[in-house]
């Protein structure tokens, strides 16, 4: 097992989080969230990966053929679907924000505090 | 019986789809009636499951994929009475919210009911599932529907700010949960909680297991609003429409804590058994910090919804103490507390919404003395009883729950937690009672430099709601019903003993694994009748007297000439200013706090759990 995918996942998570912390634009912030999310895909796929294995499509291959873990691929797919909803929702909230407050900068909309 | 299990989730989801498809064609009242009926059905189904699971979990394997040779490939819902009780609470709160929305919204699109029912299905599924990835999917489903519902009625940019802060922080939490689940799967090859727990049991705790535990715990603590992950909660709950707020404050945060208990006991407890002290210390410490920070912040709010948001945070901290003590009585107390307190907070949220409609604002200072007329007597009483309930008035629901947690704390050697938990109920009770006194008795000054003001919703007055007596009853009825549930839960005979028995069963990892994977029933823990200790009554009295005293002190301090000199007042004001200054409302700051909190968890458990 290689540690490289896990290092990449950690890098993606933290670089995305850094983007969320410092973002001055809600659209940019949403994209940073998707960068963070990519780390979950990398971890899931890395966990299921096996050297020299083929894709887990069982039609037309012998039962002894080595395949990668299909479960994590299903999880990744679910993860993508679920998170697309979050991104769509955040972007639509951002559009609403722009029509009402004429800005997409989180620091300019600070109605709630204290 | 097991066929009822998936129905609890499927009925609201199918109904949501049906309303989305046909709601445009049918008049609004049919949508509401159908949605109310579905929510009531979920309540009944969950209650039946609660009773049926009293001695053994009700387990449903989807499509009949039962375990072979104690290996689980399929997805299971494993229903225990605690999870079923939470699902029933979600159903009851949703029913109350729907009845309330009948009189609340002037016009409401059918998609509102669709989203509410998806939210309900997700809450129920999250409480009942026995599968880790399923848990993540329901976590995301309830989050997404909650973000959309929070931003449902946009009256001001603050609503969008609250909804976006909610969405971003909780999404970060969801990714942490996903990573934690991936690591557990990588180590154990299992997504079924029982099987993952079997694979980890008795093994050495290494870096990967600690990383998974930290990621899952922090992810769920973000949802639960524990300090320092709580900042989004006060922003989101303060702007949510009233019927949505009932669900958010009454059940959603507390389900995050339930998930921590589930995942800890079912998956990790077999591995960390030698290090229970480290787990206990950190969870109880974070719980106490949360309880006190939330309590102090609730006293510093003038907006009633935001005040209630901090009450939610504070009491969530108390529940975390109960769970974190790793004792059957603590978990039993926390579970009963979630039900009692959830119903009370839901009732208070509805009462605040009625105050907005009838008195014109949700700001305590702006409402000063406006409720003095006899017409508002009922509403005033509702406020006062909620305040006393939150202050754990003996012998009602919160008092029993708090006593159980305190008994667990004393026997686990955490006796110092008892006065701190009581201090939290004193602070939160006093915050609500102070608002009651100011609004309905006209006590206290009109200006209060300590309180942080929020942008008020534009005053509408809503004359149609005011003129009809029937509407007024529809608005107050759900709040009263919730209040009765919240206060009365402790009066059910033998409830405390049953809760402790069920909590002990919940904490028996090996028994749960045998039951799920091999169908072998573990022996039932003994049923020990619960007797209040003298200390319970004493701390109950302290809590109620303290709340009333503190509220009176805050309202009457001008007349008593306390803190009238600048210098003495500064003693209170300066630390309060520092605390409120941390709640900046900026999403970047919140994400930085999440990062810092997660780092602290990693360091503490990384050092202590090895």
Q: Which residue of chain A is at minimal alpha-carbon distance from B583? A: A114
Q: What is the pLDDT of residue B462?
A: 45
Q: What is the pLDDT of residue B2?
A: 84
Q: Please, how many CA atoms are within 13 Å of residue B610, restricted to the half-sphere of its CB?
A: 9
User: Which chain B positions have a beta carbon within 8 Å of A50's beta carbon?
Assistant: none
Segment B462-478, tens digit of pLDDT: 444 444 666 777 888 99
Q: Is residue A63 part of a domain?
A: yes
Which of B146, B165, B168 should one mutate to test binding to chain A, selecting the residue with the greatest count of A CBs within 10 A? B168
In chain A, the number of structural domains is: 1
pLDDT at residue B460 greater than cutoff 50: no
Rounded to the nearest angstrom, the minimum Cα separation between B175 and chain A is 6
Domain that holds residue B344: 4-608
pLDDT at residue B461 greater than cutoff 80: no
User: Which chain A positions have a beta carbon within 8 Å of B154's beta carbon?
Assistant: 96, 100
User: Which chain B positions have a beta carbon within 8 Å of A114's beta carbon?
Assistant: 300, 452-454, 580-581, 583
Cβ B125 vs Cβ B188: under 8 Å: no
Interchain pair A101, B300: CB under 8 A: no
pLDDT at residue B578 greater than cutoff 60: yes
Q: What is the pLDDT of residue B565?
A: 54
B354 vs B306: CA distance, rounded Å: 16
B200: helix, strand or coil: helix
* DSSP conformation letters of B419-481: HHHHHHHHHHHHHHHHHHHHHHS--S-S--TTSBP-PPPPP---HHHHH-HHHHHHHHHHHHH
Q: How far apart are the first and last CA of chain A?
A: 49
Interchain pair A20, B164: CB under 8 A: no
User: Which chain A positions have a beta carbon within 8 Å of B457's beta carbon?
Assistant: none
Rounded to the nearest angstrom, the minimum Cα separation between A60 and chain B is 24
Interchain pair B158, A97: CB under 8 A: no
pLDDT at residue B154 greater than cutoff 50: yes
User: Both tokens of residue B201?
Assistant: 């049991």
- If we measure between CA atoms, which residue out of B70, B106, B28 comes closest to residue B462? B106
Task: Provide the pairing of β-strand B58-61 with B76-79.
Answer: antiparallel
Rounded to the nearest angstrom, the minimum Cα separation between A64 and chain B is 20
Rounded to the nearest angstrom, the minimum Cα separation between B415 and chain A is 32
Query: Is the Cβ of A12 closer than 8 Å to some Cβ of chain B?
Result: no
Q: Is residue A28 part of a domain?
A: yes
Segment A25-54, tens digit of pLDDT: 999 999 999 999 999 999 999 999 988 888
Q: Which residue of chain B is at minimal alpha-carbon distance from A38? A: B175
Query: Is the Cβ of A78 closer than 8 Å to some Cβ of chain B?
Result: yes
pLDDT at residue B177 greater than cutoff 70: yes
pLDDT at residue B459 greater than cutoff 60: no
Segment B284-332, tens digit of pLDDT: 999 999 999 999 999 999 999 999 999 999 999 999 999 999 999 999 9
B32: helix, strand or coil: helix
Q: Which of the 8 DSSP states describes residue B79? A: E
pLDDT at residue B278 greater than cutoff 50: yes
Mean pLDDT, residues B427-455 taken together: 87
Segment B103-142, tens digit of pLDDT: 776 667 788 999 999 999 999 999 999 999 999 999 999 9
Query: Is the Cβ of A39 closer than 8 Å to some Cβ of chain B?
Result: yes
pLDDT at residue B375 greater than cutoff 90: no
Domain that holds residue A11: 4-108
pTM of the predicted model as reported, rounded to 2 decimal places:
0.95
Q: Which residue of chain B is at minimal alpha-carbon distance from A45? A: B182
Rounded to the nearest angstrom, the minimum Cα separation between B157 and chain A is 6
Q: Which of the 8 DSSP states describes residue B491? A: G
Q: What is the pLDDT of residue B564?
A: 55
B324 vs B320: CA distance, rounded Å: 6
Segment B335-350, tens digit of pLDDT: 999 999 999 999 999 9
pLDDT at residue B454 greater than cutoff 80: no
Rounded to the nearest angstrom, the minimum Cα separation between B490 and chain A is 36
Interchain pair A112, B158: CB under 8 A: yes
Query: Is the Cβ of A87 closer than 8 Å to some Cβ of chain B?
Result: no
Q: What is the mean pLDDT of each run of 10 residues along chain A (114 residues)?
A: 90 96 94 95 93 85 86 92 92 92 85 78
CB under 8 Å to B454, separation ≥6 — which residues? Answer: A111, A112, A114, B158, B238, B301, B302, B303, B306, B363
Q: What is the pLDDT of residue B10?
A: 96
Q: What is the domain-level CATH number for residue A77?
A: 1.10.287.3510
Query: Is the Cβ of A35 closer than 8 Å to some Cβ of chain B?
Result: no
Residue B566 pLDDT level (bands cut at 50, 70, 90): low
Point out the residue among B133, B580, B586 whose CB comes nearest to the CB of A107. B586
B291 vs B97: CA distance, rounded Å: 27
User: Which chain B positions have a beta carbon within 8 Å of A38's beta carbon?
Assistant: none
Mean pLDDT, residues B175-191 taken together: 95
User: Which chain A positions have a beta carbon within 8 Å of B144's beta carbon?
Assistant: 82, 85-86, 89
* DSSP conformation letters of chain A: --SHHHHHHHHHHHHHHHHHHH-SSHHHHHHHHHHHHHHHHHHHHHHH--TT-B-S--TTS-TT--B--HHHHHHHHHHHHHHHHHHHHHHHHHHHHHHHHS---GGG------
Segment B202-227, tens digit of pLDDT: 898 999 999 999 999 999 999 999 99
Beta-carbon pairs below 8 A across chains A and B: 142
Q: What is the pLDDT of residue B563?
A: 58
Q: How many CB atoms lie within 10 A of CB B599?
A: 13
Measured torsion, CA atoms of residues B532, B534, B538, B540, in degrees rounded to the nearest 10: 0
Please provide the average confidence, as pLDDT, over all residues in chain B: 91
User: Which chain B positions have a beta carbon within 8 Å of A110's beta carbon?
Assistant: 161, 584-586
pLDDT at residue B196 greater than cutoff 80: yes
Cβ B162 vs Cβ B236: under 8 Å: yes
In chain B, the number of structural domains is: 1
Q: Is residue A93 part of a domain?
A: yes
Q: What is the pLDDT of residue B484?
A: 95
Interchain pair A20, B591: CB under 8 A: yes
Interchain pair A78, B133: CB under 8 A: yes
Q: What is the pLDDT of residue B464?
A: 44
């Amino acid at each position: 097992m290689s540690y490289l995918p896990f290092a990449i996942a950690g890098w993606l998570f933290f670089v995305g989080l850094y983007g969320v912390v410092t973002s001055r634009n809600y659209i940019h912030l949403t994209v940073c969230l998707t960068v963070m999310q990519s780390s979950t895909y990398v971890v899931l796929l890395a966990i299921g990966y096996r050297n020299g294995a083929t894709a887990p499509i069982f039609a037309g291959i012998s039962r002894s053929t080595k395949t990668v873990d299909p479960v994590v691929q299903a999880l990744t797919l679910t993860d993508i679907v679920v998170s697309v909803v979050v991104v769509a929702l955040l972007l639509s909230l951002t559009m609403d924000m722009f029509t009402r407050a004429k800005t997409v900068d989180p620091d300019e909309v600070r109605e709630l505090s204290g | 019986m097991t066929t009822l299990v998936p129905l609890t989730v499927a009925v609201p989801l199918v109904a949501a789809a049906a309303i989305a498809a046909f709601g445009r064609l049918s008049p609004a009242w049919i949508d509401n009636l159908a949605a109310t009926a579905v929510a009531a059905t979920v309540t009944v189904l969950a209650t039946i499951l609660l009773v049926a699971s009293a001695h053994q979990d009700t387990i449903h394997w989807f499509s009949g994929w039962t375990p072979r040779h104690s290996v689980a490939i399929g997805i299971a819902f494993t229903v225990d009475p605690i999870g079923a009780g939470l699902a029933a609470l979600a159903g009851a709160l949703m029913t109350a919210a729907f009845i309330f929305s009948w009189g609340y919204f002037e016009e409401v699109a059918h998609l509102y009911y669709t989203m509410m029912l998806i939210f309900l299905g997700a809450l129920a599924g999250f409480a009942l599932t026995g599968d880790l990835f399923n848990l993540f999917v329901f976590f995301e489903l309830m989050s997404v529907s909650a973000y959309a519902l929070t931003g449902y009625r946009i009256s001001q940019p603050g609503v969008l700010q609250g909804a976006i802060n909610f969405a971003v922080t909780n999404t970060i939490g969801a990714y942490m949960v996903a990573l934690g689940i991936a690591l557990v799967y990588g180590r154990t090859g299992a997504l079924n909680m029982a099987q993952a727990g079997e694979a980890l049991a008795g093994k050495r705790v290494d870096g990967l297991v600690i990383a998974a535990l930290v990621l899952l715990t922090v992810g769920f603590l973000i949802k639960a609003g524990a300090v320092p992950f709580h900042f989004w909660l006060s922003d989101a709950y303060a702007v949510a429409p009233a019927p949505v707020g009932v669900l958010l404050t009454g059940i959603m945060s507390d389900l995050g804590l339930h998930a921590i208990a589930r995942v800890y006991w079912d998956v990790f407890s077999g591995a960390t058994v030698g290090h229970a002290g480290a787990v206990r210390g950190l969870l109880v410490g974070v719980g106490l910090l949360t309880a006190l920070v939330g309590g102090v912040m609730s006293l510093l709010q003038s907006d009633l919804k935001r005040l209630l948001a901090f009450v939610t945070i504070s009491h969530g901290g108390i529940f975390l103490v109960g769970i974190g003590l790793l004792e059957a009585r603590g978990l039993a107390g926390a579970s009963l507390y979630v039900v009692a307190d959830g119903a009370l907070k839901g009732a208070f949220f509805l009462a605040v919404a009625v105050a907005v409609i009838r008195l014109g604002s949700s700001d305590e200072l702006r409402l000063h003395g406006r409720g003095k007329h006899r017409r508002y007597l009922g509403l005033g009483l509702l406020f006062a009883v909620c305040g006393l309930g939150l202050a754990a008035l003996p012998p009602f629901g919160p008092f029993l729950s708090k006593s159980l947690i305190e008994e667990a704390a004393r026997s686990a050697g955490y006796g110092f937690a008892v006065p701190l938990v009581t201090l939290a109920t004193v602070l939160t009770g006093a915050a609500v009672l102070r608002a009651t006194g100011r609004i309905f008795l006209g006590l206290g000054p009109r200006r209060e430099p300590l309180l942080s003001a929020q942008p008020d919703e534009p005053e509408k007055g809503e004359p149609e709601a005011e003129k009809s007596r029937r509407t007024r009853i529809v608005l107050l009825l759900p709040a009263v019903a919730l209040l009765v549930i919240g206060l009365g839960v402790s009066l059910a005979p033998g409830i405390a003993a049953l809760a402790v028995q069920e909590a002990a069963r919940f904490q028996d990892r090996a028994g749960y694994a045998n039951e799920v994977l091999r169908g072998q029933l573990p022996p039932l823990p003994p049923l020990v009748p619960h007797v209040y200790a003298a200390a319970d009554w004493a701390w109950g009295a302290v809590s109620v007297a303290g709340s009333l005293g503190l509220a009176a002190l805050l309202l009457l301090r001008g007349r008593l000439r306390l803190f009238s000199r600048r210098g003495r007042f500064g003693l209170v004001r300066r630390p309060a200013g520092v605390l409120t200054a941390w709640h900046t409302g900026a999403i970047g700051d919140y994400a930085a706090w999440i990062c810092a909190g997660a780092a602290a968890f990693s360091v503490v458990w990384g050092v202590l759990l090895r």
